[in-house]
Structure 1
Amino acid sequence: MDQPSKLNTNLWRYWPVYLVGLGSVGLGAVALASVEVPLRPFVAAFYNLILFLGAWLPLTSILAGWEIVTNRPESPFAHLREHFFTREYWKRQLHFLPIVACIALFMINFSAMKSAIPLFHAYKWDEAFIAWDRMIFFGQDPWRLLQPFLGYPIVSSLMSGLYHLWILLIYAGCVYMGAHQPNDMLRIRYFVSYFLCWSVIGVVMAIWLASVGPVFMEPLFGDTTFAPLMRYLEAANEEYPVLVLAVQQQLLDWHATGDFGLGRGISAMPSMHVSLAVLFWLGMRDLSRVAGWIFGIYAWIIFIGSIHTGYHYAVDGIIAAAVTWVIWWAVGRIYPTSRAPRPN
């Protein structure tokens, strides 16, 4: 029998990613069918795939520019040819295609599952999470403790913008980890952890611990506990744009109409914003100490911003970060990677 080609062997090396990714897609499809949620997976997945591939060219251009700025070669074109026009580089791009196809399919299922949470489990955990927050933070709602530091319209606008930039961790972040960084073991560890975080934290735990979060307590349940926070954000929006407010209203509209499309759904616990920010930090710190610091700080900003913008209780982020770390640690027992070495 002919031996498998090196290319096929390399592709097969990613079988844990395909297994976890496609397994999550299949289980999600079965779960959605059980509650009669219709899906148009191939049309929606194609649109999602275009978004991922659309991130490839600008990210590659940025990385190429960074190579030139940091290395200052005598011949920029020759330097870029050595980095971006090699057989190994283009094999890495090819290897990423089936991974990104799995992600595109999975994210469609995830959006539908998130939108369908009320069909699986009623939203009934919010009061418990409010109590947990107050128990941890000395009887106070955490947003009130942050307000003396963040309660300025321009600061709230900035936090809102940084919170929205999180979407780049899905698209540009996946493209970077899958197509541009050369560490095979890190790639496998990251994407197996990626699918497990979305599946365990974003689906299983989100359904089990179904909650709507501070921003939606008043419009959905008539609970005015967080009305002062939302009134402040609305007033701040009169001076500087607080981008989350329009998105929050859109989520409410989609929830009211039962729209199960990409990016829909209301769910607070646990916070996938925090989970993905922590996961990306864990991956990047294995590549670069500086990148680890940058994305570690960004993960903290996402955690604090999730509270200040009313999306989440503090415990949403705390639990998400803890479970993400456990998943990263557990996958690392099979696919170990090392942190970037410290300078002498």
Structure 2
Amino acid sequence: MDVSEAVPAKHFRITTTGVAALCLMYVAAAIMVAPRTYFAMLTEYTLRKYSLPVPLFALFGMAGVAIVSRPSSPLTFTLEKLRHRGKGALIVVGIFVLCAAAFSTIKHVTPIYVPFFADPFLAWLDAAIHAGDAWRLAHAIFPPQLEPGLFVLYGPVWFIQMVGMVLIAAFTNDGACRARYFFSFLLVAVLVGSLVRIIGSSAGPIFFERIVGSDRFNGLMSALAATSSGRAMIATSDYLYSSYALDRTVFGTGIAAMPSMHVAVALLNALFLSQFGRAIRYWGWFYFGAIMFGSVYFGWHYAIDGYFSIIATIAIWRYSGRRIGGATPARWAP
């Protein structure tokens, strides 16, 4: 159902104010579960990780959009956009940071209450579906010369793309489009990234030996150790495992395989970007494909983690669309 269709009267209508209220409830729940962890994460995000990148992304992103959208008067475009959406976008970014700290808090403390138990089953099911471990198929078909590019897309670009998409949605004029994106994002975080993560508590192939005590994925670890990109991924896994084992709150803290939030968020962004034109739509779907493939190639996830995330995210996106009426195609021009 297109978001431009009317919402049946018997259903509630999603608004940006309603989404903000739900986000704050999510934050309150995280504070109740682990207040010390939450405020440690919030300090990490606000003072160390988001305080500089977000303004820079907003500045350069706005400049680029202004030049493309109104090359004759980009400064006027920027000033008009800030006048129309500056205050609202600032509120959106603030709530996003609060929610990011809440998500990391819940992800970090979940193994305390629900220890990793599903890895042996997920590894068996993944191999049964693919007639062998999926990472072997990924390494067999992917040209090794392209691995550094895949590493950049899966690693450094991930943070840029995630923050950039939040800013794009925050500055979008259409309130219904904003509400749909952030409501979908919230449902993905709560339902997919928190509740399902408890049901299928698992760490992933790259942590398999440390969590399960089995050498089943030694071949994967050897393949990763043979390249600079793979060694960087192993170093990242060491960083996350140390945070888990020592119960330290650090940026990006938390280990979770089923389901894949990387895949879920990349797909959600691709769905949202499909409203903005051909070039940006192609980028969204290309990036989603790279994240899905990279999650298996680098051993962070079993392929079925991504499959589940795809099904769940599409269902959430469609559901949110049925709860929003009066939307028009997303636009940047004031």
Q: TM-score range by the shorter chain?
A: 0.7 to 0.9
| Residue in structure 2 matching 1:325, options 298, 303, 314 | 314
The Cα of 1:208 is off from its aligned counterpart by: 2.0
Whole-Å separation in 2 of the counterparts to 1:146 and 1:328? 28
Amino acid at match of 1:163: Y
The 5 Å alignment of 1:27-38 reads: 27-32=29-34, 37=37
The Cα of 1:46 is off from its aligned counterpart by: 2.9
| Residue in structure 2 matching 1:14, options 13, 16, 36 | 16
The residue that corresponds to 2:68 in the other structure is 66
Judge conservation of contact 2:270–2:284 (CA < 8 Å) in 1: yes
Where does structure 1 lack aligned partners over 5 or more consecutive residues? 1-11
| Residue in structure 2 matching 1:192, options 172, 183, 190 | 183
1:97 lines up with 2:90 in the alignment: yes
The 5 Å alignment of 1:133-282 reads: 133-137=126-130, 139-150=131-142, 152=144, 154-164=145-155, 165-179=157-171, 181-237=172-228, 243-282=232-271
Whole-Å separation in 1 of the counterparts to 2:213 and 2:320? 42
Q: Which has the larger radius of gyration?
A: 1
CA deviation profile, 1:185-205 (whole Å, cap 9, x unmatched): 111100111111111111111
Whole-Å separation in 2 of the counterparts to 1:253 and 1:115? 12
The Cα of 1:150 is off from its aligned counterpart by: 1.9
Give the TM-score normalised by the residue count of structure 2.
Answer: 0.86
1:112 lines up with 2:131 in the alignment: no
SS of corresponding position for 2:227: helix
Judge conservation of contact 1:270–1:319 (CA < 8 Å) in 2: yes
The residue that corresponds to 2:300 in the other structure is 311
The residue that corresponds to 1:56 in the other structure is 58
- Cα separation, partners in 2 of 1:141 and 1:104, compared to 1, 3 Å: same
- Cα separation, partners in 2 of 1:13 and 1:275, compared to 1, 3 Å: closer
Whole-Å separation in 1 of the counterparts to 2:125 and 2:95? 37
Amino acid at match of 1:52: V
The Cα of 1:257 is off from its aligned counterpart by: 1.3
Whole-Å separation in 2 of the counterparts to 1:235 and 1:19? 48
The residue that corresponds to 1:83 in the other structure is 77
- Cα separation, partners in 2 of 1:232 and 1:56, compared to 1, 3 Å: same
Judge conservation of contact 2:230–2:298 (CA < 8 Å) in 1: no
Give the aligned length: 313
The Cα of 1:53 is off from its aligned counterpart by: 3.1
The Cα of 1:110 is off from its aligned counterpart by: 1.2
SS of corresponding position for 1:334: coil
The Cα of 1:17 is off from its aligned counterpart by: 1.8
Give the TM-score normalised by the residue count of structure 1.
Answer: 0.84
CA deviation profile, 1:66-101 (whole Å, cap 9, x unmatched): 346xxxx5xx4xx21342122x54221211122211
Identity across matched positions, percent = 24
Judge conservation of contact 2:127–2:133 (CA < 8 Å) in 1: yes
Runs of 4+ in 1 over 4 A off after TM superposition: 336-340
CA RMSD of aligned residues (A): 2.3
CA deviation profile, 1:31-70 (whole Å, cap 9, x unmatched): 225xx856336534533552433421122233234346xx
Judge conservation of contact 1:213–1:310 (CA < 8 Å) in 2: yes
Amino acid at match of 1:235: A
CA deviation profile, 1:231-270 (whole Å, cap 9, x unmatched): 1111122xx6753232112112212211123311111111
